[in-house]
Structure 1
Amino acid sequence: MTITQLEYIVAVDTYKSFILAAEKCFVTQPTLSMQVQKLEDMLGVKIFDRARQPISATEVGAEIIAQARVMLAESYKIKEIVTDRQKELSGDLKIGIIPTIAPYLLPRIITRFIEKYPQVKLVVWEQNTEQIIQQLKMGVIDCGILSTPLHENALTEIPVFYENFVAYTSKASKLYKKKNISPEDIDVEELWVLDEGHCMREQVLNICQRRKSTKGFQHFEYNTGSVDTLKRMVDQNNGATILPELALDDLNEKQMDRIRYFKAPEPAREVSIVIQRNFLKRRIIEALKNEILHFIPKKLRTKKKKDVIDI
C-alpha cells in the first residue's frame, strides 16, 4: 500500500470518474486504474463499483477511502512541518466562499494578500454552504468562509467577525417611514429573499419568524442567488429586502437613504473560516484570517449586543 495509491482512490471517490481522477492526478487513466486494481488485489476487496455511473464506492470501499483521507492528511503534515520552517509562505490555498460574502470581502483583501505573500496562490470557488461543506469533508478545498454555526462535528469553525443585517426599502414600503425597525415591522408579503440553498435565506426567514404571524411569503418563489439582484428588485418593483452590512460600502447616497437599521440587539450573522478537524496549511490560513481582520472594522469583531441568527 502506497501514498500514491491512497491518493488515487481518494481522487476517484472525489471526482466519481477514473478519467477525471487521472487528469487531476496528472497521470494516464490506465496508470491510475492499474494502481487502484493493485490496491484492491492486495486488500482482497473491491473498493469501487465500476458498474455504476457515476462510479461509487462499495460499502467497505467507503470505509477504506475515509481512512485513506485521514492517512493522507497525516502524511501531508510531514511536508507542512518543513514548510513551516521556511520564512516565506508558499503553496496553494483552496478556498470556498458563499456568494453573500464573496463580493464584499474578497475584492478588498486579495490584492493586499497577494502583494504580501507572492508565493501563495489563492484558488477560490464561490458556492453555496452545502457545496462548501461537502468539499471540505472530501478535502477538495482547504477552508471555507461561511456563515456559522454549521453544526457539523467533522468541521472546526474559527469565528472572524459578526456582521449586522439591515433592511433596504423602497419609498412605498412602510419601513421607509421608520427611523429604526424591529422584526415585527417587516411585512413578509413585500420581502424579497434569496432562493433555496443559501444560508442567508434561512437567516432572513428566522428574523421574520419572530413576528406573531408569518403568513404570506409571496415573493419567496423568486429564485436568485445574488444580494445585488434583490436590491435591484426593490429599486424597480418596490418592497424591501435584507442586506448584510458589508454590502453598504457599494451603495451611493441615494441608496443609503433607503437603509433602515434594526433596533438593538441587531440581528447579525457570524462569519467564520471553516476547516477540517485535522486541517493543513495552518500558517497560510492564519495569514488569511489576519488579512480579513485588517479590512474588517473593529465594531464587527465582537458580537456584543448583536443577536446572531442561526442557519
Structure 2
Amino acid sequence: MLNFSLTDLRYLLALAEEKHFARAAQKCFVSQPTLSIAIKKLEENLGITIFERDNHQILVSPSGAQLIEQAKKILSEAEQLINLAKSQQDIYAQPLRIGAILTIGPYLFPKLVGDIIAKTPQLKLVVEENYTEVLIQKLLAGELDLILLATEVNHHDLVQIELGCDELNLICSTQHKFAKLNKVMQKHLAEETFLLLGNGHCFRDQVLKICPNCDPFKNKIANLITTSSLETIKYMVAMNIGVSILPKLAQHNLPPNLCMKPISGGMQTRTISLVYRRNFT
C-alpha cells in the first residue's frame, strides 16, 4: 500500500531542483537527515530508484523523471484544492446571482445594484431578468441565489419573504375620456382597446384578475393588443392607442401625455417577494 504525503513530494521536487541534499533541506526548512530519510522511504514505498547518487553529484533516473513530473501535477492540484476551499470561506469570493421577473428587474436593479456596489464594493454581482417559471427553475438548480417575484411560490425547498406591496393603477392618454374621471370602473375597461403583456408574464395574469372581461378567452369581443414589455405599453398608451394597468414600480419617467387613474373596487396591488433556497447561506 502506497503511503506518502504532500510534504514528501515537496522534498522530492526540492532535491530534483537543487541536486544537493543540504541545499534541498535548507530550501524546505528541515535538517538534511530528515530530508534524506523521507526521500529514501519514498523510493522504497514506490519501489523504484528516483535519484542516482555518487560522491559528487545526484542525478535523476529516467523513471524518476516521470515521477517528478507527476509530483508537480499533484502538488499543483493540491494547491488549487486549498485555494478553492479558502475561496469558499470568503463570502465575497463567489458572485451573488440575483434574478428578477421582467416587470421588476428594469426598475429595481439599477438602484439595488448601485446601493450594493456603494456599500459592498468587494461583492461581485450577476443579475438576470426572466420569466417567473424560468427563474424558479434556475434557483432550484443552483444557477441563481436569490430571485425577486410578484407571485406566491409553494415549494418545500424554497423560502419566500414578502418585501412589500406594489400599487397598480390604470394608465391612459391625457386625450382619453378616462383622463377626466376621478376613478375608472372595472366594467368599462372591457369596452376599450386594452394593452397587455404576452403569455408567460405573471403580471398579465394579475391584470386579468382585475379586469377579467379583458381576457380574450372569456370575452370574444375583447379588443386586446399584446406587447412584450411595460415600456412598450407606456408609450403606446401615451399615443392614445389604448389603456392599460401599470405597477407603481414602473411609474417613473412617464411620457408627459400619460396620466394615472385608480380603479374602482379598492386599491389594487401585487406583492413583491424575495425567494431563496432553504439551504442557501
Fold match (TM-score > 0.5): yes
Paired with 1:115 and 1:209, the residues of 2 have a C-alpha distance of 44
Q: 1:136 maps to what in 2?
A: 139
| 8 Å Cα contact 1:97-1:145 kept in structure 2 | yes
| Deviation sequence 1:163-214 (CA, Å, 0-9, x none) | 0111111245442231122423322641100001000000001111279x95
Q: How has the CA–CA distance of structure 1 residues 93 and 127 changed in structure 2, closer, same or farther, with 3 Å as cutoff? A: same
Which structure 2 residues correspond to residues 170-249 of structure 1 after superposition, within 5 A?
170-171=173-174, 173-187=176-190, 189-209=192-212, 215=219, 216-220=221-225, 222=226, 224-249=227-252
Q: State the partner residue of 1:262.
A: 263
CA distance in 1, matches of 2:193, 2:87: 52
Which residue identity lines up with residue 273 of structure 2 in the other structure? S
Name the counterpart of 2:277. 276
| Residue in structure 2 matched with residue 95 of structure 1 by the alignment | 98
Residues 101 and 195 (structure 1), Cα distance of their counterparts in 2 relative to 1, 3 Å cut: same
Instruction: Indicate if the aligned counterparts of 2:131 and 2:200 stay in contact, CA closer than 8 A.
Output: yes
Q: How far 1:246 sits from its partner (Å)?
A: 1.7
| Counterpart position of 1:300 | none
Query: How many Å separate the matches in 2 of 1:217 and 1:151?
Result: 33
In structure 2, do the counterparts of structure 1 residues 118 and 268 end up closer, same or farther at CA, with 3 Å as the change threshold?
Answer: same
Q: 1:188 to 1:194 in 2, by over 3 A?
A: farther
Q: Which runs of 4+ in 1 moved over 6 A?
A: 78-81
CA RMSD of aligned residues (A): 2.7
Q: Structure 1: any 5+ residue segments left out of the alignment?
A: 1-77, 281-311
Q: Distance in 2 between matches of 1:148 and 1:252?
A: 28
Instruction: Give the residue type in structure 2 aligned to 1:150.
Output: V
State TM-score, norm by structure 2: 0.62
Residue 71 of structure 1: aligned partner: none
What is the match of residue 31 of structure 2?
none
1:156 to 136, 155, 159: 159
In the superposition, relative to structure 1, how do residues 261 and 275 fare at CA in structure 2: closer, same or farther (>3 Å)?
same
Aligned partners of 1:172, 1:143: CA distance in 2, in Å?
Answer: 42
Shift, 1:253, TM fit: 4.6
Aligned to 1:116: 119
Residues 250-283 of structure 1 deviation map (CA, whole Å, 9 limit, x = unaligned): 225543xx21123463111100111112222xxx
Please, which runs of 5 or more residues in structure 2 have no aligned partner? Answer: 1-84
TM-score (structure 1 length as normaliser) = 0.56
Identity of aligned residues (%): 34
> Rg larger in 1 or in 2?
2
Matching of residues 48-59 of structure 1 within 5 Å: none
